[in-house]
Amino acid sequence: MLLISTELLIMLCIMLFVPADLSGKCFIGFAIGESLGAAALRIAGGIFTKIADIGSDLMKIEFGIQEDDARNPGVIADCAGDNAGDSVGPTADGFETYGVTGVALISFIMLAVPEPAVQVQLLVWLFAMRIMMVIASGISYLGNQVMAKRLYGDKARFNFESPLTSLVWITSVVSLIITFIVSYLLMGQFTVNGHAYTNLWWQLSLIITLGTLAGAIIPEVVKVFTSTHSKHVREVVTASEAGGASLNILSGLVAGYFSAFWIGVIIVGLMSGAYLLSQYELTTVINPEYVKATMMAAVFSFGLVAFGFLGMGPVTIAVDSYGPVTDNAQSVYELSMIEQVPGIEAEVKRDYGFDLNFRTAKFLLEENDGAGNTFKATAKPVLIGTAVVGATTMVFSIVMLLTSGLTENLEMLSLLHPPFLLGLISGGATIFWFSGASTQAVSTGAYRAVEFISTHIRLDEVVQASQKDSKKVVEICTIYAQKGMFNIFMAVFFGTLACAFIEPFFFIGYLISLAIIGLYQAVFMANAGGAWDNAKKIVETEMHAKGTDLHNASVVGDTVGDPFKDTASVAMNPIIKFTTLFGLLAVEMAVGLFAQGQQTVVYALAAIFLAINLFLYSAVFTACASLPKRKWCNGM
């Protein structure tokens, strides 16, 4: 809540104290800065954590040791990675998503709504709703805490997912109620040029409510494919029993594919509802020209759906952060080697008054880790969906600039305009390059980590890995994460410049394809990874099959899913938004140069940017081609 409140305060200061002619530029700069930071943390953090995780996990197969064995030099790096990739990264992502969505709506209002009085009223309502949503999250958290203590405080065992699920739904209901109350107070007597629009307040409230419900419904759908209680995850386990790692991987892919379909159905359904609601009084208010107004109202409603997604922003970040907490709790328990401390049972009984049961403690930690895995998975599609729906609004803002307010060049927004069609094809291609590059960065770093750990682990001579070896694994993870992040981000940066300078409507097609294909690719990878992760958790906690062939198969599936769910998929969110935001400036620069008669300069810059982009695209792969020869990868 503090993080979101800080961001809201910064945006309010820009709105209130920066001159009107500069505030728009400040908002865009603020949003680009957020996207830069979030992209760096998501990519670098995701690479770091999965190098460490894979390096640590594969030792279980190679040496038959337990998870988080203190003798494994990779465990400390794994714990650091949980903080870097699974806590800091998602938090930065949520922070950025919250701000960028607001900037997209503000930009749209300023560009699409001609009437100053309407602009002011919509902006005041928008900021008031953001404030009330933060308050709703706080109220819901306190209420859920009281309820959880009453329901589960005295129980030795319970479903760890239940309190988190109730928090999400309570927040959704409270946000819904507050949305209608605040909208009525601010918009109940909405008037333009002496004409009152008395139904606008509840129509806007319903549109936001669709997004708020999405923030609760999507996690429930994700749990169908990733929870330890889901049939899909248990099917992965069953397949592993019969066919080992091969069928484990195939079953996880099936879960990911189906989850992408159903998430897409839900998002389309919610956006369709928003579109229908927008075609009433909002159409009349937003623009005096009916044809333009119908399009503008629809796009604005899509932005409000994304805004509603983030009505539970603090709660989404909170339940996502639950995962790394439970994961590290398990690691700290093993690293403490408390079971080997002489007289510890008597000491705890004397000082704290209860009997120790190490077997139960480990079981509960592992079960809780499964719940953490599930809720890490549920937060990802919410943030990804928000990025895509919010990007729709920002893309339309760029369209407004290129068409001078939908008055010219409309024929360019058609499949009959070749550059637009080529842009659609190029955006989809970029998504698959990004998926490959980020996954390769993990596999390359993991190769080095596994190589080092397997040659330095000491199972007979020591009870704990040395600080020197543990620090070396952290160093390996850090170097590969930084280099991988730099190469990937520079390729995306120059790719954005190249596409913006090639042709403006080529870039529009590029952005649309990037967002749509990125949505499905990210959801598929995130949920397939979640299914593999919790299949391993079932084998460990319910079947108690550690050290068996079944467990080895589940570990292989989990390591395949690691870069899927925690690197490639999650980093697409800030990449999509950075490309859209930075592209707004780049395409404006290209159009300006073209209007000044500098066509040769524009085409020359496009060629230079494209050459650099393609070089970086190929360099990421060729840098790793000689990996077995002990060459550094990803630019190292």
Domain ranges within the chain, ordered by starting residue: 2-629
DSSP 521-561: HHHHHHHHHHHHHHHHHHHHHTS--TTSHHHHHHHHHHHHH
The band of 72, judged by pLDDT with boundaries at 50, 70 and 90, is confident
pLDDT for residue 542 is more than 80:
yes
- Tokens 């190929």 appear where? 618
CA 117, 585, 307, 511 dihedral sign is positive
Residue 466 has φ and ψ, to the nearest 5°, of -70, 155
The band of 8, judged by pLDDT with boundaries at 50, 70 and 90, is confident
The band of 1, judged by pLDDT with boundaries at 50, 70 and 90, is low
pLDDT for residue 393 is more than 50:
yes
The band of 424, judged by pLDDT with boundaries at 50, 70 and 90, is very high
pLDDT tens by residue, 605-632: 999 999 998 888 876 655 444 455 444 3
Helices and strands (H and E) in the chain: how many: 19, 2
User: Would you call 523 exposed, middle or buried from its count of C-beta atoms within 10 A (0-12, 13-18, 19+)?
Assistant: buried
pLDDT tens by residue, 511-541: 999 999 999 999 999 999 999 999 998 998 8
Contact by Cβ (8 Å): 304, 315: no
What stretches of 18-73 adopt beta strand conformation (E)?
A: none
Amino acid present at 361: A
pLDDT for residue 634 is more than 50:
no
pTM, rounded to two decimals = 0.88
The band of 81, judged by pLDDT with boundaries at 50, 70 and 90, is confident
The pLDDT, as a whole number, for residue 524 is 94
Measured distance CA(138)–CA(85) in Å, rounded: 26
- CA 280 from centroid of its chain's CA atoms: 33
pLDDT tens by residue, 328-337: 888 888 888 8
pLDDT for residue 14 is more than 80:
yes
The pLDDT, as a whole number, for residue 79 is 87
pLDDT for residue 180 is more than 60:
yes
The band of 239, judged by pLDDT with boundaries at 50, 70 and 90, is very high
The pLDDT, as a whole number, for residue 249 is 95
Give, rounded to a whole angstrom, the gap between the first and last alpha carbons of the chain.
40
Mean pLDDT of 559-575: 87
Percent of the chain with pLDDT over 90: 26
The pLDDT, as a whole number, for residue 625 is 44
Mean pLDDT of 400-405: 81
From the list 127, 591, 106, 119, the residue with the least C-alpha distance to 394 is: 106
Measured distance CA(331)–CA(141) in Å, rounded: 27
What is the residue-averaged pLDDT of the chain? 85
Contact by Cβ (8 Å): 421, 601: no
User: Would you call 635 exposed, middle or buried from its count of C-beta atoms within 10 A (0-12, 13-18, 19+)?
Assistant: middle
- Which residues, 6 or more positions from 445, have their beta carbon under 8 angstroms from its beta carbon? 47, 51, 476, 477, 480, 481, 484, 633, 634
401 half-sphere exposure, CB direction, 13 A CA radius: 21
Contact by Cβ (8 Å): 498, 606: yes
192 forms bridges with which residues in the sheet?
195
